[in-house]
Amino acid sequence: MSGIYVHIPFCSRRCNYCDFFFTTNTKLTDDFLISLDKEIQIHSASIPNQKFDTIFFGGGTPSILTGNQLLGIINRLRETFDITEDAEMSLEANPEDLTNEKIRELYSAGVNRLSIGVQSFIDSELQFLTRHHTSSIAGDVVKNSLDVLDNVSIDIIYSLPSQRAEDIIVSIDKAKVMGVKHISAYTLTYEDKTLLTKSANEGKIIRNTPEHEATLYETVSKEIISRGFRQYEVSNFAIPGYESRHNKKYWKLLPYLGLGPSAHSFIGNRRWNNLKSVGKYCELVNSRKLPIENDYELNEQQLQSDFIMLALRAEGINFTEYKKRFGKSFEVYNKRAIGELVQNGFAELSNDSFRLSTKGYAVADEIIARYF
Ligand code: SF4
């Protein structure tokens, strides 16, 4: 089964750490929606034989859309593609957009999973991240969302300068007590050209050292796991049964179609991504051209590397699945690496699989670069 990702490229304001593609020019929303509809129609001919069981609205801020606008997109997707009745439909939302009325509108439109950008339940941390909501608004919104739909995830950002482990635990605890089913916990990253990075470069804020970050990572993982969540990716934890079906497609190298500016797709052995400009996106799609910026075919070697990299950052390599896909034994080809990583506590080995431990996840990128 395949997934559909729809990028909604609008935000009301820029958060200081963000480098996602979006514009604050929300006047373009109507034009964008018309173009998105056209992009869907163009793909109806170019994407044959795919059955979809997930739709993910990401951004930007998808919760900027009204329930009716969202319903229009979902209806068009359903008319155009073969989408299962029980498809997982996730939507990323900012707390300040989620009035009770909006939550019900989204649910009526078909959204059955909300991923709320809470980031923290501590006001000073939210202020540092230049978020527009308060911890009390975030708490109310999570509670109200859980009253309407069961499948609610929150994002948490940690490793803020001078943040203590006990501060992060406040947010984790609150999420658990409220009955949140999924937590995505990300370390604060300093991306190029963000205001946050500028402040760090000017010495106004002090970044945590990689060693301190790794310690915080292990603490956060252990604290979340100890509250009944299962870690199924470097940054993602779910109460069993509430894993994101859509995100698992990325990590298992399964097909997905991306729509909207900057969206990425992977179908067959082909990867492509749309360009990052709402204006150019609309212009191209309106002249019935796909708004693709890069497009390439992965060879067998690249597919294997991607598969290993993504699997190790998630639930690990299943030996039978690997052999079926690539005709080789992962465990035979990588015997030395597996032995060393297991011996040093970075990974775990069972009869039919190999996966990183919490200690291994903390340095997953280094392990992948060094051993695979
Ligand atoms: S709301 Fe999300 S996408 Fe928009 S600026 Fe903030 S972090 Fe970036």
CATH number, domain at 235? Answer: 3.80.30.20
- Quick one: pLDDT band at residue 48, thresholds 50, 70, 90? confident
Instruction: Give residue 335's pLDDT.
Output: 95
Please check whether residue 226 lies inside any domain of the structure: yes
Phi/psi of residue 53, nearest 5 degrees: -130, 10
The mean per-residue pLDDT over the stretch 219-245 comes to: 97
Assess whether 32 and 179 both reside in one domain: yes
Contact between residue 131 and residue 61 where contact means Cβ atoms under 8 Å apart: no
In a domain, 292, yes or no: no
Q: How far apart are the C-alpha atoms of 166 and 187, rounded to whole Å? A: 15
Mutate to test the pocket of ligand 1, among 7, 19, 61 (most ligand atoms within 8 A of CB): 61
* Amino acid residing at 111: V
Q: What is the pLDDT of residue 97?
A: 95
Q: Last residue of some domain: 216, 250, 284?
A: 250
Say if 274 falls within a structural domain.
no
Confidence of residue 81 (pLDDT cuts 50, 70, 90): very high
**pLDDT tens by residue, 8-39:** 999 999 999 999 999 999 999 999 999 999 99
Cα dihedral 180/184/185/191 (nearest 10): -140
Do 323 and 233 share a domain, yes or no? no
| Cross-sheet strand order for the sheet of 256-259 | 230-233, 236-238, 182-187, 152-158, 113-119, 82-93, 51-59, 2-8, 256-259, 264-267, 270-274, 292-297
60 Cβ inside 6 Å of ligand 1: yes
Is the minimum distance from the CB of 21 to ligand 1 under 6 angstroms?
no
Domain assignment present for residue 109? The answer is yes
Q: Give residue 78's pLDDT.
A: 96
- What mean pLDDT comes out for the span 92-120? 96
Ligand 1 contact via 188 beta carbon (within 6 Å): no
pLDDT at 117 over 80: yes
Q: Which of 12, 13, 20 to mutate to test the pocket of ligand 1 (most atoms within 8 A of CB)?
A: 20
Q: Are residues 198 and 341 in the same domain?
A: no
Separation of 10 CA from ligand 1 center, angstroms?
Answer: 9
DSSP H or E run through 306? helix 300-313
d(CA 231, CA 182): 10
Tell me what the pLDDT averaged over the chain comes to: 96
Instruction: Please calculate the CA angle 255-260-266 and round it to the nearest 5 degrees.
Output: 15
Burial of residue 235, with CB atoms counted within 10 A of its CB: 0-12 exposed, 13-18 middle, 19 or more buried: middle
* pLDDT attached to residue 176: 97
Closest ligand 1 atom to Cα of 92: 2
15: CB partners within 8 A, 6+ apart: 129, 130, 131
| Number of domains observed in the structure of the chain | 2
Kindly state whether residues 115 and 223 are assigned to the same domain: yes
Token pair recorded at residue 299: 């060879």
Binned at pLDDT 50, 70 and 90, residue 162 comes out as: confident
Ligand 1 pocket member 11 (CB < 6 A): yes
Query: Which residues are registered as beta bridge partners of 158?
Result: 187
* Protein residue closest via CA to atom 8 of ligand 1: 18
Please work out whether the CB of residue 264 comes within 6 Å of at least one atom of ligand 1.
Answer: no
CA dihedral 157, 160, 165, 167 (to 10 degrees): -80
Note the maximum CA span of the chain: 58
Of 204, 234, 250, which marks where a domain is finished? 250
> What burial letters (b/e) apply to 320-352, b meaning 16+ CB within 10 Å?
eebeeeeeeebbeebeeebeebeeeebbeeeee
> Tell me, what DSSP letter sits at residue 251?
H
Overall average pLDDT of the 90-111 stretch = 96
Which band of pLDDT confidence, cut at 50, 70 and 90, is reported for residue 158?
very high
Tens of pLDDT, residue by residue over 283-337, are 999 999 999 999 999 999 999 999 999 999 999 999 999 999 999 999 999 999 9
Helix (H, G, I), strand (E, B) or coil at 191: coil
Residue 350 resides in a domain: yes
Indicate which CATH number applies to the domain containing 347: 1.10.10
Q: What is the pLDDT of residue 264?
A: 98
CA of 289 to the centre of ligand 1 (A): 29
Among 250, 283, 304, residue at a domain's last position: 250
Q: Give the closest residue (by CA) to ligand 1 atom 2.
A: 60
Q: Decide whether any atom of ligand 1 lies within 6 Å of the 139 Cβ.
A: no
Residue 325's pLDDT is 94
Domain span including residue 345: 315-371
Structure tokens at 184: 């995505």
Percentage of the chain lying above the pLDDT 70 cut: 100
DSSP 74-87: HHHHHHHSEEEEEE
Is the same domain home to 88 and 216? yes
Q: Which of 178, 28, 163 minimizes the C-alpha distance to 95? A: 178
Predicted local confidence at residue 182, as pLDDT: 98
Query: Which ligand 1 atom sits closest to the C-alpha of 117?
Result: 2
* pLDDT surpasses 90 at 47: no
DSSP string over 97-119: G--HHHHHHHHHHT--EEEEEEE
Which of 12, 13, 17, 18 has most ligand 1 atoms within 8 Å of its beta carbon, as the pocket-test mutant?
18
Atom of ligand 1 nearest to the CA of 19: 8
Mean pLDDT of 195-200: 96
25 located within any domain: yes
Q: Is residue 301 part of a domain?
A: no
